[in-house]
Amino acid sequence: MKDPSHILKELELKATPKRLAILDILSRTPTYLSPDEVWTTMKERFRAIGLPTVYRNLEDMAGGGVISKVIHPDRKLYYFFCGNREHHHHFVCTSCRRVDDLSFCAFEEIEKEVSQNLNATISSHIMQVFGTCSDCSAGKGGYR
């Protein structure tokens, strides 16, 4: 991972100890985490940290693209660190929580469909594909 202080500075976010800790937690975890899970880990390092502080920092960093959101089929919001700064999408295993990069993007086809059939313009897009990874399908259990 690139120097966390430098990553935050690029986003014009102050490199506070709490933001650095959140980046450290997420970058060391190969799966997505809920804000509550991040908060529980943060409480080991910072005794006086509230869940709203964790949410605010997660959202600040997600807004800048440092971390990514997983809008899970269970309707809960999760976060993960993805060091890949190239345009890509993700496969999310709903069993072990693993997140893998996908290099395929069908945006041009979708953009054409939206333009022609809806007479609309797309401003951005996010694609996450949910399923079960090969390890979980084979009963190996993945990362959990």
The pLDDT of residue 57 is: 94
> Residue 20 is encoded by which pair of tokens?
């650095």
- In the chain, which residues have pLDDT < 50? 144
The pLDDT of residue 71 is: 84
Q: Is this prediction's pTM over 0.75?
A: yes
Per residue in 13-41, pLDDT (tens digit) is 889 999 999 999 999 988 999 999 999 99
